[in-house]
Structure 1
Amino acid sequence: MKALLFTCVLVPWLAAASARRVDQDSQLIPGSLSGSQLNGYFSDHLKSRRARRALPAADEPDDSPIPDGGDASDLPTCLLCVCLTGSVYCEEVSPDITSVPKLPKETAYLYARFNKIKKISTKDFSDIVTLRRIDLTGNMISEIEDGAFSKLALLEELSLAENKLVKLPMLPAKLTSFNVNYNLLKTRGVKANTFRKLTKLVNLFLANNQLEAVPQIPENVHILHLQNNNITEVNVNTFCRSNDTYYLRPSLSEVRLDGNPVVLSKFPDSFTCMKILPVGRYR
């Protein structure tokens, strides 16, 4: 009777303990996890590896793939950057890159912000005719060869903000947005026809430069930022036309001239074709 009672109590207890052990083990073995659990396991594992790589021990040998005297630009782009289908993200790359990395031929969107790129040459984008957006904000670009963007027939958005440019190159005809805020541009560095042929341009950002005059602005521009330059005057032909009193410019919906020496109230006939007055100093 005692043996029967012992069997009835012990066997269920052993079975339950075994089940608990299997359940605990399944949490440690990736092959036994569900799909969502498996993804979480590998995600945590990868994060752990990345953390270990980011914090090497002081006595570990240097296993950097960059040879002595080499540059990060010598490495394959998709080792330095994040490459997704059609997009390349090279933002704040460490070690530093000083030139535009070689891009996969299907690249449509390049984000290479906050690096140390110094120059853009004609060969940098000559084979990447699929590019639609280039963002090079926050580099050290002081020179762009004149034909650097000439083959980019599909390019719509270009940002060169926060660089060291003193002059602009020729720009692609299909640009809809161009940002060159926070550079060193003076009026002599902007050719008279730089923007004239950009018939699709909607947003033009030229703030925080050293321009002495407003450049020729295409008809289709909606937003124009020229704040914090050295502009001292505007005239009737800056935005309107002196020989056409019926000329209107309804598309121009935002013009910023604040932070310039020009006193806009001295030029009342310069804005008659516009539906809004520029933001700026009037007295």
Structure 2
Amino acid sequence: MELRALVVTLLLVPWAGCHAQEWSLFKRTPAGSQEDVAHPNQTHMEAKKPKTKVTRSLDSAQMSADEPDTTPAAVTKDDPELPTCLLCVCLTGSVYCEEVLPDMTAVPPLPKETSYLYARYNHIAKIGNADFADSPTLKRIDLTGNMISEIEDGAFSKLLLLEELALAENRLVRLPMLPPALTTFNANHNQLRTKGLKANAFKKLTKLAYLYLGDNQLEAVPHLPESLRVVHLQNNNITAITDMTFCKGNTTRYLRTKMDVVRLDGNPVGLGVYPNSFICLRTLPIGRYY
């Protein structure tokens, strides 16, 4: 009997110690279970899975907050301002599209309430009636240094606030009707001829102060409004002027007090042949007098 009791004791003690250790582990793991304790490696892997998902979610949120959305949907929104402002610089009321790459061959759609457009030195070839139809707030347009050879007659008809228009260094042979509020018009370095100007092209521009038509192919001086201060007609093909070109030949009391500068240099006309043509001016025109 003593021998049997000893054998039973030797078998029960290790068994009891093992289960006591498992019970101790179970109690020290309040969020776990018996299955968790029995398979600690599996529990560790499963605990990492949701943590990994959260990290990716946070990274994704951080990227969307710090980096611009460059998906095609962002570039093709129904916003007419977006394509132009990706190619050009758009500030409050101003659009700068100078020497755009790839080549800009047409007037770009403009953001609403644009006042100033600078699209110099591009490859724009034509200005159509629809190009500025939705931009009545424009006050200044500069299209210097393009390849414009045609402007449709109604292209500027909606621009009642336009004060400055620059079309220098293009390929124009004729001019359309110009906006009535213009104060400055620059068409230097084109291919304009007198037949390409309407008889009243500038007559109704009662606010026009600066007119630049130098380096063209004009054969005669166009009608000049009373508001003019400066007119450049140098390097054309003007061969003659009359007593009515600048003054009113039927009266010597008329004085043109606003006009300060008249350039006629580089023309084949001899100004000395027409002494009565300048009696109303405060200063003589610049040009050849012999």
TM-score, L = length of structure 2: 0.72
Q: Which residue of 1 aligns with 2:147?
A: 140
Q: Does 1:258 align with 2:248?
A: no
Shift of 1:105: 1.4
Q: Which residue of 1 aligns with 2:108?
A: 101
Structure 1 letter corresponding to 2:168:
A
* Structure 1 unaligned regions, length at least 5: 1-64, 66-74
Q: Which residue of 1 aligns with 2:221?
A: 214
CA offsets 1:138-176 (integer angstroms, 9 cap, x no match): 000000000000010100000000000000000000000
1:215-234 superposed matches below 5 A: 215-234=222-241
SS in 1 for 2:117: strand
CA distance in 2, matches of 1:270, 1:105: 48
Shift of 1:243: 1.9
Aligned partner (choices 171, 191, 194) of residue 187 of structure 1: 194
Q: Which residue of 2 aligns with 1:77?
A: 84
TM-score, L = length of structure 1: 0.74
SS in 2 for 1:236: coil
1:149-164 superposed matches below 5 A: 149-164=156-171
Structure 2 letter corresponding to 1:269:
N
Deviates more, 1:75-84 or 1:228-237: 75-84
Shift of 1:244: 2.0
CA distance in 2, matches of 1:270, 1:134: 34
Q: Which residue of 2 aligns with 1:88?
A: 95
Give the count of matched residue pairs: 213
Structure 1 letter corresponding to 2:101:
S
SS in 2 for 1:147: coil
Q: Which residue of 1 aligns with 2:181?
A: 174
CA distance in 2, matches of 1:244, 1:158: 34
CA distance in 2, matches of 1:146, 1:104: 24
Q: Which residue of 2 aligns with 1:238?
A: 245
Aligned partner (choices 150, 154, 165) of residue 172 of structure 2: 165
Q: Does 1:127 align with 2:134?
A: yes
Q: Which residue of 2 aligns with 1:29?
A: none
SS in 2 for 1:238: coil
Structure 2 letter corresponding to 1:276:
T
% of aligned pairs identical?
68
Structure with bigger gyration radius: 2
CA distance in 2, matches of 1:108, 1:164: 25
SS in 2 for 1:204: strand
Shift of 1:106: 1.1
CA distance in 2, matches of 1:150, 1:129: 9
SS in 1 for 2:176: coil
* Structure 2 unaligned regions, length at least 5: 1-71, 73-81
Q: Which residue of 1 aligns with 2:209?
A: 202
